[in-house]
Structure 1
Amino acid sequence: MNSSRHRTVHAVRVGLARGWTEFMLSIRSPQDQGFYLFTAVAIVGYLFLRRDTEVEGTSLLLPSVAMPSILGALVAFGVIIGPAYALAMEREDGTLLRAKAVPRGILGYVSGQVLYHSLNLFPSLLTILIPSFLLFDNLAHRGLEGWLTVIWVLLLGLLATMPIGIIIGSLVPNVQKVSTWGMLPVMVLTGLSGIFFPITMLWGWVQVIVQLFPIYWLGLGMRSAFLPESAASLEVGGSWRTLETVGVLSAWAIVGVLVAPIVLRRMARRQSGSQVEAARQEAVQWVR
């Protein structure tokens, strides 16, 4: 028992060390720095151009309403698509096969991926938050209470959405299919989840479908952290529905934590050297 526990703890430690190393390499990478800069310039630039636009039904300006929603969308998109692409790519290049050959290797691999993609959110969020607070007024109406809300919403949001990315990465036949099976549906859901406009503007049946998924609740939670109580009038039911946010995100987190390891283990058991080679040949043909 103690030996098994020791191997588990060792695998997690190795995985976390790998995740930390990958994160440090990422923030030093010119390519990744360029991505953070491009994302920040695009989002902050859009908000700056609309800085004098009032949101209908409130006295608030667009930047103060849109920024929390955009942050929620970035979190959801980053921790769904990021792990999905990473898992699909490293399944094809043999990384997962090598991890499988080591005792508790898959556990270590997943631990590293969770840490890496969680940490990778912060450069994206900070490069947007810092210039936004310098350029726009009244972005954080709730002070310390609001920042505490940001913390629990982020934690629950990560737990609710990251398993989805792991499941997608485990199920897709190749990395090219991540765009079809993962990116496209997430983009559609994001566009309909109240990130860019209140979902109350949509048909009733669309509102019902959107509220079944965690992206809407992640955005709602972020809005509740930054916006004044009066802004809740734009939401479904005219309130922030905090208990419902906790309940839905927790439900997705529980289901994800239960289902993702099963799907990942089944995928890992099927992984073989011949499959890796076939995936490489298919990738070469696709590039050509």
Structure 2
Amino acid sequence: MNPTWAPYRAGLSRGWSEFKHAITTPAEVIGTLFPSVIAIIVMIFLRDVIVDGASVSLASMTLPSLLGMNIAFSGLMGIVGQLTIEREDGTLLRNKAVPGGMTGYLVGITISVSTMSIISLLIVLAPGMFLFDDVRFNGFSSVLTFIWVVVLGLFATMPIGAVFGSMFGSPRQVGLVMLPVGGLVAISGIFYPITALPEWVQWIGQTFPIYWLGLGMRSALLPAEMAAVEIGESWRHLETAGVLGLWTIIGLAIAPIVLRRMARRESGSAVAARREKAMQSPIR
């Protein structure tokens, strides 16, 4: 076996094993299905609400936006959660001790998070296309748009998730990320057109990937005339690719540096200290 490719093969094997474990573990399956089922139920109650100036229901408009939000949330929080858990239980330290172990570890975690993100996406999309007539692929170009938005969205969010994950030594601190992410969701046009917000808020929302992922999913799954309720009355595919690509470049430039520094700080005593602190934490 070529030693150059050995870490990548190990990472592929690790990612596939973690994926199989996730889809055969009841708690993992329920955790994946439950938010998706709730989202579909909420959309059913909104299918008779029509957006001002639009020809489709609020449910049909919101469902693709939720898919975009799920990509961002899964890519970001999936990496944050897994990285902090495996720092605390010593998995990261064990991989650090193996030649090429960190490369294999990162490949594995990327594959496992990506596959689960895509499955979560399909769980909402499949019934949504049957329940809502306006949510559909409008030809082969729509399918291609859907694919590149999903792929680029994961690349744009997972490295940032790795950066945040390296900052926290315990899974109990991950909740600190939820508040700013929730704020971004509120101003990113996920639940209602962003054009209804003040212009300065629109500019803030357009700075981050969540808005562009929602826009990209709407462009792939909604009728072409729905672009009329968007900023500039356009799906802005070029801008979507540009912003997501920029976040990808920023994340891939910063994440390796931060992860290398985090790995250098990992030691047996650091892991033991985190475990002891976790055991002493009061159960609420």
Deviation at 1:109, TM superposition (A): 0.3
Say whether 1:14 aligns with 2:10: yes
Aligned residue for 1:126?
122
Percent identity over paired residues: 49
Return the TM-score normalized by structure 2. 0.96
Aligned residue for 2:256?
261
Deviation at 1:229, TM superposition (A): 2.3
Say whether 1:77 aligns with 2:63: no
Determine helix, strand or coil for the equivalent of 2:4.
helix
Aligned residue for 1:45?
41
Say whether 1:116 aligns with 2:112: yes
Quick one: which of 259, 266, 271 aligns to 1:276? 271
Out of 131-140 and 81-90, give the one that drifted further. Answer: 131-140
Aligned residue for 1:228?
223
Deviation at 1:173, TM superposition (A): 3.6
Aligned residue for 2:179?
184
Contact in 2 for aligned 1:7/1:103 (Cα 8 Å):
no
Aligned residue for 2:131?
135
Deviation at 1:235, TM superposition (A): 1.4
Contact in 1 for aligned 2:88/2:274 (Cα 8 Å):
yes
Determine helix, strand or coil for the equivalent of 2:5.
helix
Deviation at 1:175, TM superposition (A): 2.1
Q: Which digits, 9 at most, give the CA deviation of each residue in 1:178-206, with x for residues without a partner?
A: 110x2221121112111101111222221
Contact in 1 for aligned 2:88/2:169 (Cα 8 Å):
no
Out of 19-28 and 32-41, give the one that drifted further. Answer: 32-41
Return the TM-score normalized by structure 1. 0.94
Q: What amino acid is aligned across from residue 229 of structure 2 in structure 1? A: L
Q: What is the rounded CA distance, in whole Å, between the counterparts of 1:124 and 1:151 in structure 2?
A: 15
Say whether 1:89 aligns with 2:85: yes
Contact in 2 for aligned 1:97/1:268 (Cα 8 Å):
yes
Determine helix, strand or coil for the equivalent of 1:52.
coil
Gapped regions of structure 2 (runs ≥ 5): none
Q: What is the rounded CA distance, in whole Å, between the counterparts of 1:158 and 1:37 in structure 2?
A: 20
Gapped regions of structure 1 (runs ≥ 5): none
Quick one: which of 193, 197, 206 aligns to 2:201? 206
Determine helix, strand or coil for the equivalent of 1:56.
coil
Deviation at 1:270, TM superposition (A): 0.8
Aligned residue for 1:219?
214
Out of 62-71 and 149-158, give the one that drifted further. Answer: 62-71
Determine helix, strand or coil for the equivalent of 1:120.
helix
Q: What is the rounded CA distance, in whole Å, between the counterparts of 1:37 and 1:175 in structure 2?
A: 22
Q: What amino acid is aligned across from residue 189 of structure 2 in structure 1? A: G
Aligned residue for 1:102?
98
Q: What amino acid is aligned across from residue 219 of structure 1 in structure 2? A: G
Q: Would the alpha carbon gap of residues 119 and 105 (structure 1) be closer, same or farther in structure 2, given more than 3 Å must change?
A: same
Out of 251-260 and 36-45, give the one that drifted further. Answer: 36-45
Contact in 2 for aligned 1:69/1:223 (Cα 8 Å):
yes
Quick one: which of 150, 155, 158 aligns to 1:154? 150
Q: What is the rounded CA distance, in whole Å, between the counterparts of 2:178 and 2:4 in structure 1?
A: 33
Contact in 2 for aligned 1:55/1:62 (Cα 8 Å):
yes
Deviation at 1:24, TM superposition (A): 0.8
Q: What amino acid is aligned across from residue 39 of structure 1 in structure 2? A: P
Q: What is the rounded CA distance, in whole Å, between the counterparts of 2:6 and 2:36 in structure 1?
A: 38
Contact in 1 for aligned 2:80/2:164 (Cα 8 Å):
yes
Q: Would the alpha carbon gap of residues 112 and 141 (structure 1) be closer, same or farther in structure 2, given more than 3 Å must change?
A: closer
Q: What is the rounded CA distance, in whole Å, between the counterparts of 2:20 and 2:236 in structure 1?
A: 38
